Structure 1
Amino acid sequence: MRLAPYRSVLALPGVRPLILVAILARIPSVAAAVTLTLHVVEELHRGYFAAGLVATASTIGAAVGAPLLGRMVDRRGLRPVLAVCTIAEGVWWSVAGSLPYPLLLGLALAAGVLTLPVFSVVRQSLAALVPPDRRRPAYALDSMSVELSFMVGPALAVLMATTVSPHATMWAIGAGVVLAGSALFVFNPPVRAESEVASGPVPPRRSWLTPRMIAILAIAAATTLMLGGTDVTVVAVLREADQISWTGVVLALWGVYSLIGGFVYGSLSRAPSLVVLLGALGLGTALVALAGPQWFLLALVLVPAGALCAPTLAAAADAVSHLAPPSVRGEAMGLHGSAITVGLALGAPLAGWVIDLSSPRWGFVATGVVGLLVAVAVLPVYLSRRRPPASGVPAQRGAEPALVVAE
């Protein structure tokens, strides 16, 4: 491992504060789902299915809204989008705790569309701040910061909801989102480098939403599908073994493995390609089913799959940043965010359905096999040699090596 790539990236103007703001700004966002669930179950006295419908509505809204907001950033700039989303989310979280369930369900969809685009904006800004040949460690840092946010946010939400109330937690999340949006508004990170100032017409979507880009989006969705499925399956396996009290420890270790894997990935001089990372993650996830019944054996067998989480997510974001033209990078990163959101939304119910039909361990197999199948499906497109554009414009320098050699 080398620290030089990280030192080089963090020395670039704007990168260090962007990563710090990203960690803090993402915490309220990742705490939202569990807070809504606890509110519906504990305060509205509805079942978990009803709570899941609210989470699903919010997820659908976020998946639809991410590329639309990214397109607005490309066309209108970052600050107008941040202002609209910050106000909308502030209003949503201030009234959500007082709404009857039908209205809560309907407004969750609308609020999801205007979710503060912290994840996409940070990744878009990294592409503007970091030269193409140094983006891999930059996106590794970003993936590690996401992991830290997920390790802190839901735990804080559960702690506050159980010690104070879910309603108070919703107010706290609203305040956190407003602070996050305000901080990003003041910081105003660039979404294009100075050398990428838009000139001329915006390229048509068909010119950059190519089969290769679609393959990368499919890989991103498959990655988070496995993560969502693993989360649920770990709980089911430990519950069956009567070791449910160790769930937090196992999931925390899984997050640590991802942090370590992301750190190693960003420090390598030559890294595996994205499709190899996905295939290895799929195989590692399926093999977790072989773990013994004890919690420490499950935690041990999770090491390979856990260590590949952050690298695969970082490689997908890096690939999107190379393929998307600067003038539409916001929309492309929005589509990337939608793919991640859809994957997470599908992973848990897929694993749960398989677990209900068979046994908990088959949840690992089912989601791991999905990852392997996607890796096989996209391999021909991913490895195909890119043809020069019909317009005669030369291919972007450095894009192909970033995809094939060291994503």
Structure 2
Amino acid sequence: MPGSLLFSLTGLFARLQMSMAGMGATLLIVHERDSYSLAALVTAVFALAAAFIGPQVSRLVDRFGQHRIVPLQLSVHVPAILALIFVAYGDGLEPLLLGLALVAGSSQLSVGAMIRARWSKIYTGTPLLRTAFAVESLVDEVVFITGPPLATVLALQVAPSAALLVATLILTVGSVLLILQRSTQPVPSGTTHPAPKGSALFLPGVGALAGIMVFVGAVFGSFEITTIAVAQDAGAANWTGLLLAVYSFGSLIGGFAYGAREFRAHLPRQFIIAVTALGIVTLPLAAMGNLVLLGIAAAVAGFAVAPVLISVMSLVEYIVPAKRLTESITWATGGLSVGLAGGLLISGAIVDNFAASNAYLVTSGAAVLAFVSAYLIRGVVGRAYQAAYFRGAQALQTAAL
């Protein structure tokens, strides 16, 4: 499809920021303030703001178009990040630091949701949409393989703030390039139609899937900050980016294997199987006795991540109306952000007070809770899937008349 490769590559570049920002903020605050708890709290506030305010902004994106809303987001986000860096270099002013994290998170761009909305515009109703979503999940993994090592090198070898500065520059350039590609932008629902009533979170199935993503996000958040601390305790801080990249590389392989194959099982069943696998393979992390074994366990655990993300995003796209897609996807990724914040806070407190490796129990526990919760909400998701199937069948019958 003309233009699809360009917007996907642009999205890859712009999304590099999301894999660098959390790491960059953590390394900056740990270096300047010597506190994992404060670093986790700042990152958690950012993530929570993105989770709860981001979907409201995405509703405006659905209604008025990416090209109108994105510049407004950047005009708030970039100054907030620059101010946060400035305050982090000083002493005290923790409330101001948290306030700036709140503003920056509130204006964080949902680049992944905007890219997936463009794919949905092109391939809705065809099997190619699942493939496109799988490709985007692979792009996410490439981003998370590349971003953490880059952020680590910049923060440790150039300057503590270098990772955040470069991440913000990447987001700005990538987002501007994306909104210039108007031909693939979804058609805004516009002001001529009534604004959607209520939040997309309350659409059938969306809240349940966002809830699962909370636990998946906790897996990510706890794994990231625990790995940073474990590597530093072992006197191998330079291994941090490599260990995180190994985890993401495992997820990349898992995403490729999942996306390249056609499955006979329907999407809700694929989702249950993927979450079950995540719960099982994450269990051994806390028992690894050295960084080499940890790297191997991380690669295996990472293998189960991408299939969960792909199946959730595919389900959201299938069960919601097209005009609510960006908002709905942002709620799902917002669930990730909430979990990320919780994982960071709990694991940060454990790292500051106990042996760092104990915090991997949070990672494993979150994965098990995702597995249990998926079984509890499988009926809700299944009914939403069936309702969407019947709506699609009726639409086809109507079109054939």
Check if 1:137 corresponds to 2:125. Answer: no
Judge conservation of contact 1:219–1:275 (CA < 8 Å) in 2: no
Let me know the Cα RMSD of the aligned residues.
3.4
Cross-structure match for 1:218? 211
Shift of 1:178: 1.9
Cross-structure match for 1:377? 376
Read off the aligned partner of 2:160 and give its amino acid letter.
Answer: P
Over residues 35-72 of structure 1, what are the superposed CA-to-partner deviations in whole Å (9 max), with x where a residue is unaligned?
A: 223333434x4533223232222122211221111110
Of 56, 69, 79, 1:91 maps to 79
* Distance in 2 between residues matched to 1:34 and 1:242, nearest whole Å: 18
* Distance in 2 between residues matched to 1:202 and 1:141, nearest whole Å: 32
Read off the aligned partner of 2:85 and give its amino acid letter.
Answer: G
Q: 1:252 to 1:31 in 2, by over 3 A?
A: closer
Of 307, 310, 314, 1:314 maps to 310
SS in 2 for 1:395: helix
Over residues 257-282 of structure 1, what are the superposed CA-to-partner deviations in whole Å (9 max), with x where a residue is unaligned?
A: 11111011111111652122112211
Q: 1:121 to 1:135 in 2, by over 3 A?
A: same
Cross-structure match for 1:173? 167
> 313-322 or 85-94, which moves further after superposition?
85-94
Read off the aligned partner of 1:309 and give its amino acid letter.
Answer: V
Shift of 1:304: 4.3
SS in 1 for 2:108: coil
Of 258, 265, 279, 2:276 maps to 279
Judge conservation of contact 1:69–1:334 (CA < 8 Å) in 2: no
SS in 2 for 1:221: helix
Judge conservation of contact 2:149–2:242 (CA < 8 Å) in 1: no
Cross-structure match for 1:103? 96
Q: 1:121 to 1:112 in 2, by over 3 A?
A: same
Provide structure 2 residue ranges, at least 5 long, that are not aligned to the other structure. Answer: 396-401
Read off the aligned partner of 1:293 and give its amino acid letter.
Answer: G
Check if 1:156 corresponds to 2:128. Answer: no
Of 36, 48, 65, 1:77 maps to 65
Provide structure 1 residue ranges, at least 5 long, that are not aligned to the other structure. Answer: 1-11, 400-407
Q: 1:300 to 1:167 in 2, by over 3 A?
A: closer
Shift of 1:30: 2.3
Judge conservation of contact 2:200–2:328 (CA < 8 Å) in 1: no
Q: Give matches, 1:359-370, under 5 Å.
A: 360=358, 362-370=361-369
Judge conservation of contact 2:221–2:340 (CA < 8 Å) in 1: yes
TM-score norm. by structure 1 comes to: 0.81
Read off the aligned partner of 2:52 and give its amino acid letter.
Answer: V
* Distance in 2 between residues matched to 1:163 and 1:386, nearest whole Å: 49
Cross-structure match for 1:28? 17
> 183-192 or 319-328, which moves further after superposition?
183-192
Read off the aligned partner of 1:14 and give its amino acid letter.
Answer: G
- Matched pairs, number: 382
Q: 1:242 to 1:160 in 2, by over 3 A?
A: closer
Cross-structure match for 2:399? none
> 177-186 or 355-364, which moves further after superposition?
355-364
Shift of 1:151: 1.9
> 16-25 or 166-175, which moves further after superposition?
166-175
Q: 1:275 to 1:94 in 2, by over 3 A?
A: same
Read off the aligned partner of 1:24 and give its amino acid letter.
Answer: F
Read off the aligned partner of 2:18 and give its amino acid letter.
Answer: S
